[in-house]
Amino acid sequence: MPAPFRLYNTLSRRVEDFTPIQPGHIGLYVCGMTVYDLCHAGHARAMVTFDTFVRYLRHRDWSVKFVRNFTDVDDKIIRRAAELGIEPLELAQQQIDYFHEDVRALGLDEPDEEPRVSTSIGGIIAMVERLIERGHAYAADGNVWYDVRSFPNYGALSGQKVDELRNPDVGNGKRVPSDFALWKATKPGEPSWKSPWGNGRPGWHIECSAMASRCLGDSFDIHGGGLDLVFPHHENEIAQSEGASGCGYARWWMHNGLLTMPGGRKMGKSEGNAFSIRDLLQLFPAEAVRLYYLQNHYRSPLPWDQNALPTALAMVCRLYEAREVAESMKGQERAEDVAKSLGDDAQAVLDLSRAFDTQFYAALDDDFNTSKALSYVFELARAVNRFANHKKARKRGGPLVAEALRCFSVVNDALGLLGDDVSKFMQEVKEKRLGAMGIEREDIESLLEERLVARQARDWARADSIRDELEAKNIVVMDTAAGVDWRVRITGA
Ligand SMILES: [Zn+2]
């Protein structure tokens, strides 16, 4: 049996016990990218949030059908394609390919379906026809408009008042300012399809209604997206879908908070303040980016901060260090006996590991509180790192930390962190941070070589000055039994 959980519902504005339509199964639709430019850190917050949510649900034995669409027909795509002198659908395809590369690099799983507007036109036209039949829409001069006043429940999600609405859609035949376009008559240079109302293309909102019902049915469990989509997009989806089917649409509405830039502005290409995911992944491993999002509650606004990613990276490194040191511990005794004889730090590891599942799951089952769940992970990692200082830890700590290692594998399965081999991860950290700091690996190695020669010649002053020189570049030199090693100090933490 899958584990029960609670989830905030934007529709009721409360955290509620989640109940699926079909026991054990969850249908989830998430609004995806409008593909006219690269995925940036603002989009990635939604992508990581829902990817991790699905990952967690599956970890808890839910069967999930996860659908995330591409908006490949849109004003922004048409404008950008015209600037570039290519066809809009060609630009969209190129951006979809980039998006797939980016989310793979980010370590996200593929959704079960990724419908696109351009291949969903038949379903969209059928839904518009049904809305006209049922008295929720009217055709005029090649356009079709949704009659907002025909849907008494309009505004239930967003709290908007119909009388005060001015929908920005323009075109012929619109009766009142609140009505919005379901179908737009063709204009020169735009992609268009044949329809009962003449050649044209869908309005923005109808696509998600049509794709969600095709992939998940008229009624399904959870609809997700960024908070900026609540109005008008999701409000209009409800009006369209319920207007067409006569039954309820999504039961839960789950919205992630937005990444905000100084001055409270949204991150966006049009704002000129976007960091693309591919740029960030040049500088940081994917798990640092993932942790950066997950350490904040998904519903909170997330103010962008220069130090946030270095801090997140330093935190992931500490988790890996804890796992590495735990993996290196040996021993044959019972965990309880080790704890008893090695003192409080040892006992703390055992106690925290044994309480871990209950606390970790309780946090995630209460409105997917990843930030609280991670606080238990860090507490455990700190305890392991503290225990590792005990002089007998390496020799006898193995049985004691076995349970902590099991907890770390739960974290990987549930949240997608700590999924790498430690040395591979640390290697990636070195490469990316050296690149970020503009330092060549060969320069470090030749300085270390020079330091070795100085040490052999007992020129301690020279050896120390090389160490200081590297230190100033945030390269920490470590003399170990096995020889000289070095690591990059993660700055900004
Ligand atoms: Zn949508």
Could you tell me the distance, in angstroms and rounded to a whole number, from the CA of residue 205 to the centre of ligand 1?
A: 6
With H, G, I as helix, E, B as strand and everything else as coil, classify residue 217. coil
* Assigned domain for 298 exists: no
Q: How far is the CA of 327 from the centre of ligand 1 (A)?
A: 45
pLDDT digits (tens, 9 = 90+) for 120-129: 999 999 999 9
User: Residue 292 domain-assigned?
Assistant: no
User: Residue 189 — very low, low, confident or very high, per pLDDT cuts 50/70/90?
Assistant: confident
Domain with 128 in it: what CATH number?
3.40.50.620
- For residue 404, give its domain range: 306-421
Whether 189 maps to a domain, the answer reads yes
Are 230 and 259 members of one domain?
yes
The answer as to whether 137 is a domain residue is yes
> Are 407 and 259 contained in the same domain?
no
Same domain, 81 and 199: yes
CB 128 within 8 A of CB 137: yes
State whether 394 and 468 are in the same domain.
no
Looking at residue 492, what is its pLDDT?
A: 57
* Per-residue pLDDT at 163: 81
pLDDT digit string, tens, across residues 87-98:
999 999 999 999
Amino acid at 378: F
Pairing of strands 220-226, 180-185: unpaired
Do 445 and 414 have their domain in common?
Answer: no
Same domain flag for 375 and 449: no
Let me know whether 248 and 311 are in one domain.
no
CA of residue 489 to ligand 1 center, whole Å: 42
- Is there a domain that residue 329 lies in? yes
**Is there a contact between 69 and 15 (Cβ–Cβ < 8 Å)?**
no
Query: How many angstroms does the Cα of residue 298 sit away from the middle of ligand 1?
Result: 19
Instruction: State in Å: Cα 210 to ligand 1 middle.
Output: 10
> Mean of the per-residue pLDDT values for the chain?
95
- pLDDT above 90 for 270: no
In terms of domains, do 39 and 126 share one?
yes
Does 158 have pLDDT greater than 90?
Answer: yes
C-alpha angle with apex 161: 157 to 162, nearest 5 degrees?
A: 105
Cross-strand partners of 4: none
Q: For 361-416, what is each residue's pLDDT tens digit?
A: 999 999 999 999 999 999 999 999 999 999 999 999 999 999 999 999 999 999 99
pLDDT at 491 (0 to 100): 72
Last residue of a domain, one of 283, 317, 333: 283
Same domain for 267 and 325, yes or no, is no
Q: How remote is the CA of residue 26 from the centroid of ligand 1, in Å?
A: 18
* Residue 271, pLDDT score: 77
Last residue of a domain, one of 283, 317, 339: 283
What pLDDT, on the 0 to 100 scale, is given for residue 57? 98
Residue 493 has pLDDT above 70, yes or no: no
Helix (H, G, I), strand (E, B) or coil at 486: strand
Residues 376, 406 within the same domain: yes
My answer on whether 54 and 167 are in the same domain is yes
DSSP conformation letters of 45-64: HHHHHHHHHHHHHHHTT-EE
Q: Which residues surround ligand 1, an ion (CB under 5 A)?
A: 31, 208
Tell me, yes or no, whether 176 lies in a domain: yes
Residue 289 domain-assigned (yes or no)? no
For residues 169 and 52, membership in a common domain is answered with: yes
Nearest residue to 364 (alpha-carbon basis) of 410, 402, 409, 322: 410
**For residue 348, is pLDDT > 60?**
yes
Backbone angles phi, psi at 95, to 5 degrees: -70, -35
Q: What is the pLDDT of residue 480?
A: 83
**Does 417 have pLDDT greater than 90?**
yes
Q: pLDDT for 245-268, tens place per residue?
A: 999 999 999 999 999 988 778 787
Among residues 257, 300, 304, the alpha carbon closest in space to that of 280 is found at: 304
| Helical (H) or strand (E) element with 460 | helix 460-472
Residues in contact with 133: Cβ distance below 8 Å, sequence separation at least 6, in sequence order:
none
Domain membership flag for residue 426 = no
Number of structural domains the chain divides into: 3
| CB-based contacts of 340, cutoff 8 Å, min separation 6 | 347
Range from 14-28, 45-59, 360-374, 472-486 carrying the lowest mean pLDDT: 472-486
* CA atoms lying within 13 Å on the CB side of residue 85: 0
So what's the pLDDT on residue 453? 95
Query: How many whole angstroms from 162 Cα to the centroid of ligand 1?
Result: 21
